[in-house]
Amino acid sequence: MSARTWLGGIYLRERGHGIVLRALDHYRRRVANVGSDPQIRDVPSLRMLVIEEGKKTAEKVPLVIKIINAGLDNPKLIEQVEFEVSLIEKALNCYKSDIEKIVNTMVERYTYLFDEPKNLQSDLPLIKEALVKIKQFG
């Protein structure tokens, strides 16, 4: 029997890298600032736990970004990202959630997390596609 092929890697190389890289970069900024979130600021024990977990996650994100960028020229490298699909999914969901918060509720406190807070809605269909494609195997 042959091993299954990770179609998510093909998607990343062909057209999905842009949205995934934007989501990962956003996620990196988001976890770096998670301690300042008003929802956890008043709960010190939870805040410390979230900050520690955020630090662990924030350390992984630049490596995944680097591998994806290098994998655009070397398809073998992009296969290493298969082990970080859950991180990519978290990044995409976080990016989607923060876009929806800005678009639907106009919550200003999230706009600093985006380089260009205008036209973010156009990324929503791309995120939806990426969430499906990144997990596919053939």
Read off the pLDDT of residues 19-78 as tens digits, 9 standing for 90 and up: 999 999 999 988 888 777 777 777 788 888 888 888 888 889 999 999 999 999 888 899
Domain boundaries, the chain: 7-129
Contacts of 101 (CB under 8 A, 6+ apart): 107, 110
Q: Phi and psi for 117 in degrees, rounded to 5?
A: -70, 0
Q: Where are the alpha helices (DSSP H) in 13-110?
A: 17-32, 38-41, 44-71, 75-78, 85-105
pLDDT digits 0-9 by tens, 78-109: 999 999 999 999 999 999 988 888 877 766 66
